[in-house]
Structure formats: C-alpha cells, structure tokens
Amino acid sequence: MAITNFSPTQPSNTRLGLHYFPDTLHYREADLQTWLPELQALGVSWLVLRSEHDRAIPEHFLRGLKQAGIRPLIQFAFSLEQMPDLKEIGMLWEVYARWGANHVIFYDRPNGRAAWPVSGWLQQDLVECFLDRYLPAAALALQIGLTPVFPPLEPGGSYWDTAFLRSALQAMQRRKQEELLQRLVLSAYGWTGGHSLNWGAGGPERWPQARPYQLLAGGQDQRGFRIADWYLAIARSVLQQSCSILLLQAGVAASPLAKSGLVVSQEQAATSASLARLLAGEEAADPQAAGSLLEPLPEQLIACNFWLLSAAPGSPHLNQAWFEDSEHRRPVVDEIRTWRRERKAQAPVSSSGDGFAKDSRSIRHYLLLPGYEWGVSDWYLEVIRPFVKKYRPTVGFSPEEAEKAARVTVVGNPQNYPESLLDRLEKSGCQVEQIGGDGTNIATELSVR
C-alpha cells in the first residue's frame, strides 16, 4: 500500500484489536478481501491469528494486514506435555519474521491444571518446569527477531495467577534472562468476570488487602477487565522497570472457549463501544453505572483484542462473533462504526492531497534510519534514494526529531529499534510504518512504494 493511502484520521495504533476466526482455515485471498475492509472500518490495529506448528499462514495474508497498518499477533497452541521441535518451529518463525510479523504467543494458561498432564501438574516446582519449556522457545524467537509474548494466565487459576507471574519473573531474573526481560511483553485475558469495567482498577496499590484464593468483603482483585493494572504492578515490583501488555478475549465475562452458548448481547455491544472510546483516550461512560466514567487505561497497554470477528457456519463460537458472516453483523459493529464516523467528522481534514492531516507538527514525514557506533551505512543511503525522490521526506537518525513528525517511516529490523521506541513514537501521535526484513526485502519494499 502506498503511503498516500493511509487515512490521516486513523492513527497507526488505535490499540483496538480482534481475534480472527478460532481456526486456521480462513487465510485465502478471498478471506482477506472480504474481511480487510471490515477491519479497517472498525479501526482495528491488531489481529490475533491462530497458526499451526507445521503450516504457515500464507504470505499474502500477513503482508496484506501489515500493508493496511494491522499488526498480526500469531498464537500457537503449544502443549506442555512435550517440548516443541525448535528446529521446525524456528524455520516457520523465520518465515513469519521475513513476512513482517513481530509478536508471537505460545502456551496458554500454564497456571491451570487443565494445561498439564497429571504427572507434570504434581511436580513441586511448577513455575520452573514451565520456564524450562518456555525460555528456549522465547530465546529462539528473540534470536530470529520476533517478540515472544508471555502467555496469558487463568485469572485466579488452580495456581493463583498473580503468584505464578511473580514467581516466573523472579525466576527469569535468577536465570539471567536480561534480553528477554528488557523486551518483556505480557498478555492477559481481559474478561470482565461479571464485574464493572472499573473493577480492580488501581491494582494492588489500591487494593492491598487482596489475597490469593479469596476475596475479602468489600474488596476487589485482578479477576476482571482491569487485570493489566495488577500484572504491570507485579512487573514493576520485581523488575524495577515498566513493560508492555496485551489483552486477549476482551469484552466477554469469562472464557468464551468454555462457554459455547455465549451470545453477543446489546450489553456487550455497549461494553465494547465504551472500551473502544477508552482505548482512543476519550472519556467513556461506564455501561454498568449510569453517570459514572471509566478510569483511564494504562499507557503500557498496547492492544486490547476483542473476541471474536467471525466463525465458520456451524461453529459453536458463531454466536459469540461480531459478524455472523460478511452480510450480517451484531450491534457492537454498528456501535463502533457510528462512533468512528462521528470522530472522523470532527477531525481536521487535509487539503494537501498527500494523505497527511494538517497539524501543529513541524515535520510532515520523517524517514528514520538506523545509526551505528561506527557511523552511517552507505547501503541504507543508497537504497532509500527512489523513496526519497518520490516522497521527499525529512531523512535522519534521531528518534527525538522523528517524534515531531506527523508520519514516521522506520527502515530497519527489530534489532535496530527496540519495541519501546516504536511505541513511544505512536504514543506521541506519529503515524508509524516499519519496513524491515532482510536487505532484499527492504530494498524491494522501498522501491515499489
């Protein structure tokens, strides 16, 4: 997609995401053509995709999402019964990285009894046993250039989730996992637990009386939509640093995979629409408390992925989907679309015809190149030449200078730029596009734009 096709009223990361189909059967070109316009109309920036271990999501599907400004979050269903074949999975991850994927998540709810074989669950050091499985795969992902996401835990859970997370982070420190902890991205299930969307807001600092496996009268804990507040507080306490977090399966009361009879209701539509406003930094009404506002979300929350875009006919999850099919949608879709239309109508319109909104920023378009201790790469200066002649961006090596731009095109691989830098640019209001991969891919991407 050419840079001029980006909508100036849709920021690069709206933080609004969706789970795609709950299977791996809908990655055809026709599926992309059907659903991409719907995702763009909703302002979706993230899409959770399920992947097999031995079969890749097609290149055209991943590249189509990336070119539309949608980040794929690829989810694998690794079993805790045995270690995955890292040679096999490494080949697949290298392909995904080359096609523009960045975040991968593997394993699910390792603090729950159901995730383990009986012999595994009865082991004394469950957290250590999990890390023996998780860390080699995470190290491989980092080596390839992907960001491994720490898997979501069962809120509460057979092994209390906040205790499991704290022990896991402490163990990773003991094991000297410095690079992984520096780039740590957590995930959590954003289920409401049947509570208000403000339940548990403020985390353990506001609710110091919260105790594992029990809920004191009048108290609140992490078992609600504000679970991110609790996990981020634990990470700060253990690591003495902040990290990012992603929410999964948001907008529903409990695990949708365990409740096939769940139906998307008008109440859920109001909940999801309020959360969309909150993700955009707007004030949002609490749908369960008339006259009350929802508390702001932490800035470290980089994506809230709602359940579910759609499902195949006959699927037990079809009643949970925002779309029954491409022709029939639930009220939640209309709620969010209406809000986005109203928001777009109030946004300033560019009259320059170049796809960039007029604002107070001193730089219209910044091309950010990697700098090295030894100097500047002549290869990068040569390969950007056609792009610079066509779009005439400001070219430089300074993230601080790039923050002053309306749009930033970042050229280089994840190793050149920490994820925190890209997040910082987005949070400062820049529209961010990254062109990465190997040298051939970078040269090709720049030349065809």
pLDDT at 184: 95
Q: Which residue has the tokens 């991943």?
A: 62
**Do residues 397 and 355 lie in contact, with contact meaning Cβ atoms separated by under 8 Å?**
no
CATH superfamily for domain 3-346: Glycosidases (3.20.20.80)
Q: Answer yes or no: is pLDDT of 9 > 50.
A: no
pLDDT at 82: 84
Distance CA 118, CA 99 (A): 39
Tokens of 169: 């982070």
Prediction pTM value: 0.77
**Do residues 318 and 324 lie in contact, with contact meaning Cβ atoms separated by under 8 Å?**
yes
Closest Cα to residue 419, out of 279, 239, 243? 243
Q: Identify which of 39-48, 115-124, 412-421 has the greatest average pLDDT.
A: 39-48
**Do residues 183 and 220 lie in contact, with contact meaning Cβ atoms separated by under 8 Å?**
no
Tens digits of per-residue pLDDT, 192-205? 998 999 999 999 99
Tens digits of per-residue pLDDT, 47-81? 999 999 989 999 999 999 998 999 999 999 999 99
For CATH 3.20.20.80, the residue range(s) in the chain are 3-346
- Average pLDDT value for residue range 19-28: 97
Closest Cα to residue 337, out of 45, 41, 70, 34? 41
For CATH 3.40.50, the residue range(s) in the chain are 363-448
Angstrom distances, CA of residue 280 to CA of 179, 234, 306: 31, 25, 15
- Average pLDDT value for residue range 188-195: 94
Q: Which residue has the tokens 């005439």?
A: 392
Point out the least confidently predicted range of 51-55, 187-191, 404-408.
Answer: 404-408
SS3 30: helix
Tokens of 109: 């709810």
The confidence band for 385, taking pLDDT boundaries of 50, 70 and 90, is confident
**Do residues 109 and 157 lie in contact, with contact meaning Cβ atoms separated by under 8 Å?**
yes
Q: In CATH, which of 3.40.190, 3.40.960, 3.40.50, 1.10.3470 is domain 363-448?
A: 3.40.50
Q: Answer yes or no: is pLDDT of 354 > 70.
A: no
